[in-house]
Amino acid sequence: MFRVTLISAAALVLSGFAAPLEPGMSTDIASLIRTAQAAEETAASGVGTVNSVGAAARKINLTHEPLPEIGWPKMTMDFAVAEGIDLDAVAPGDAVRFSLSEAGDGSYVITAIETESR
Ligand SMILES: [Cu+2]
């Protein structure tokens, strides 16, 4: 929902105001567009196994298979999870398929996750 809202806001800005990303464009608008573009792009998708879920902290620990799109080997690590992702739907031991987007500070955030049928 967060992602859709941002993209809609950016689309509104692009269609309703001056040409996009012109010099002199308000920093707020430029930053809104960059945020929407970042949220839109899936940097990598992969599969892994859930080790732990921190629903309150919106973190999940996964052992993921290699992610060739971003050059990562198989590893075990914590991920931040985007707003709107239901962490009650996953539990330790689940095999999952997930998507990542770059958070803008060089880290990656999970923007989609679902259990794999097996
Ligand atoms: Cu990793």
Does residue 15 carry a pLDDT above 80? no
How far, in Å, from the CA of 81 to the mean position of ligand 1?
A: 14
What class does CATH assign to 44-115? mainly beta
Tell me: the pLDDT tens digits for 38-92?
A: 556 899 999 999 999 998 999 999 999 999 999 999 999 999 999 999 999 999 9
How far, in Å, from the CA of 73 to the mean position of ligand 1?
A: 7
Q: Ligand 1 (ion): which residues have CB within 5 A?
A: 72, 75, 77
Does residue 7 carry a pLDDT above 60? no
Spans of all domains in the chain: 2-40, 44-115
* Residue in 87, 29, 78 with CA at minimum distance from that of residue 56: 87
For the beta carbon of residue 77, count every other beta carbon within 10 angstroms: 13
Three-class secondary structure of residue 92 per DSSP: coil
